[in-house]
Amino acid sequence: MLLNCKQAAWIVLPALVRAATVTYSVPASVPTSAVALDVAPVGISFEFFTFPSYFLNVTATNQCLANFEALTGVWPPIRIGGTTQDRADYDPATSAYVVYSVASSVDAPASLTFGQSFMSLAATYAGNVVMGLNRGHNNISNTIAAAKVAKAKMSNLRAIELGNEPEYYLSASQPIAVAAGTWTPAVDAASQDDWDIRVGSALSTTKIIQAGNSNTAPPTWGAAELIATENATAQSYVYDYAHHNYPGGTISSLMSHSDIYSNLAVFDADIAAAATTGKDYVLGETNSVSGGGASTVSPLFGAALWTLDYSVMASSKNIKRTYFHHGTIGACYYCFWGRYDMGAPYYGAYVATAFMAGGASISELDTGSTNYAAYVVYDSAGKPLRVLLINSDYYSSGTRGSETFVLTGLGSGASVKSKRLTAASANSRVDQGGNPTFGGQTFANGTCVVGGTETFESTGLSGGVGSFVASASEALLVYLQ
């Protein structure tokens, strides 16, 4: 009835600024449908060739990662890989991290070598690392030699990938596809299974391969298709299954909660297939728009709201970890940080980490059919810990609409506190002066140090019911404990 009235109002007065209400009941204790959380669900992916520069030559990197560690107590997981992992050969003789030449500093190299020091550098990271190695060049002895160095040097090694987005091998003239003569999901799966066994047995280590790593949507390429080809030996070497995802679109479609819901639903069958093996399913490389991002989408505050909603929704669907890709330094619209400026999406990843930090499980309260998201994180005792509310209506200019989220079941307290993620509009860019704030705070360009005074809002409760207002293109993190 109410919905019908709202729809009628929209038809009669299309310019009406939206101010409506949704009501969600927060369970007093964790429902059986809730999904177990990883200790650090929000991770970072670094393009293979540029990983040493991020760690040695971009000041903000360590602090941006440390800010997440301060929230969760665990350094965020990282993955090193991407297109250039399949262009990289291991050279035991070089003392350099990476060796390549490019015409311009914003180009990715067509070929490169890396030395043992690449693995020594990765070993210095205090969090765990997924290392992406080459399959495209079809030289398994080189990949095994690199894998042995990674295994020997990196006590923080979580898993190894054998190839990146293999569906593109034929068009990239990669030797493994050229030698096979044909390259289909089935041919790639047989190759992955064979390499999983040969690399895993060379390392004398089971549960060591992050398998899959395709970008083309399932079911053609994906975990279910791959798992169906694995015998017990091949599967014993798999640590987890990964897929890549770049939703693209316009800023308003990217950030739309219902569009995120549809985009992630594509992975449901693969998540279920991975669960039958008892192994995790992750998004091993993802970000807003492929190829380093789009200037009109990726650096905008709306993409921060996407990063927040997308990573939290992924966790609520049992996608255990989500690795946001960071590409060529100086040519990366979706990057969370760079040499000089912060990127708005960092704020979304920070709030997602703050929301899920220390949580045992998560559930989504809404059904993904509107722009108004509501999630709950539960503690290890099964009690609701925090609620996240997102109004993903796109706001650019003019009068800003709002949505009232009425939450019931909030307990007997007199009030709850919250922190707001906001910016002047969904189009705000940090490098154009449009700094987002979370609880009134910002992250400094160049260093990623948090600044400003942390500010909480307080919302009164009556009989466990509270009303929370989020403007169009805003999110609110509500602390229940």
Ligand X SMILES: *[C@@H]1O[C@H](CO)[C@@H](O)[C@H](O)[C@H]1NC(C)=O
| Binding residues vs ligand X (CB under 6 A) | 53, 56-57, 139, 141-142, 145, 193-194, 197, 231, 233-234, 341, 430-431, 433, 435, 442, 444-445
> Which residue number, 49 or 221, has a Cβ lying nearer to ligand X?
49
CB of 241 vs ligand X, minimal distance in Å: 16
Task: Provide the pairing of β-strand 442-443 with 450-451.
Answer: antiparallel
Query: Residue 29 Cβ, how far from ligand X at the closest point, in Å?
Result: 40
Q: Is 387 helix (H, G, I), strand (E, B) or coil?
A: strand
Q: What's the CA gap between 267 and 36, in Å, rounded?
A: 18
Name the phi and psi angles at 56, rounded to 5. Answer: -105, -20
Q: Which two tokens stand for residue 138?
A: 């079809």
One-letter amino acid of 464: G
Minimum CB–partner distance for residue 92 and ligand X (Å):
7
Rank residues 1 and 103 by Cβ distance to ligand X and give the closer one.
Answer: 103
DSSP state of 218: T
Q: CA-to-CA distance for 239 and 227, rounded, in angstroms? A: 13
CB of 231 to ligand X, least distance (A): 4
- Cβ atoms 383, 433 nearer than 8 A: no
For the bound state, the minimum distance from the C-beta of residue 197 to ligand X, rounded and expressed in Å, comes to: 6
Q: Contact 131/161 with Cβ under 8 angstroms?
A: yes
Q: Is 191 or 307 the residue whose CB approaches ligand X more closely?
A: 191
Which residue lies nearer to ligand X by CB, 197 or 477?
197
Nearer to ligand X by Cβ, of 445 and 467: the residue is 445
Smallest gap from residue 296 Cβ to ligand X (A): 18
Least Cβ distance, residue 77 to ligand X (angstroms): 23
In this structure, the number of other CB atoms found within 10 A of the CB of residue 238 comes to 26
Nearest to 245 by CA among 169, 334, 123: 334
**Residue number, 200 or 247, with CB nearest to ligand X:** 200
Q: CB-wise, 147 or 251, nearer to ligand X?
A: 147
State the minimum distance, in angstroms, from the CB of residue 298 to ligand X: 16
Residue number with CB closer to ligand X (300 or 373): 300
CA 67 to each of CA 48, 351, 354, 453: distance values in angstroms, whole numbers, following the listed order:
23, 11, 10, 16
Q: How far apart are the C-alpha atoms of 329 and 47, rounded to whole Å? A: 10
Bridge partners of 407? 24, 466
Q: Are strands 238-245 and 280-286 parallel, antiparallel or unpaired?
A: parallel
Shorter beta-carbon distance to ligand X: residue 26 or 300:
300
3-class secondary-structure state, position 48: helix
What distance in Å separates the CA atoms of residue 102 and residue 245, rounded to the nearest whole number?
Answer: 27
| Whether the Cβ atoms of residue 37 and residue 318 lie closer than 8 Å to each other | no
Residue 301 Cβ vs ligand X, minimum distance, rounded to whole Å: 13
Task: Give the nearest distance from C-beta 104 to ligand X in angstroms.
Answer: 12
Q: Which residue reads 């949507």 in tokens?
A: 217
- Least spacing, CB of residue 89 vs ligand X, in Å: 7
CB nearer ligand X, residue 60 or residue 430 = 430
Burial class (CB in 10 A: 0-12, 13-18, 19+), 29: exposed
**Distance separating alpha carbons of residues 467 and 469, to the nearest angstrom:** 7
DSSP 409-428: ---S-SEEEEEEEE-S-TT-
Q: What stretch of H or E contains 271?
A: helix 268-277
Closest separation between CB of residue 57 and ligand X, Å?
4
Residue 273 CB contacts under 8 Å (≥ 6 apart), including other chains? 223, 224, 227, 241
CB 395 within 8 A of CB 80: no
- 139 or 258, CB closer to ligand X? 139
CB nearer to ligand X: pick between 105 and 397: 105
- Whether 47 contacts 82, CB under 8 Å: yes
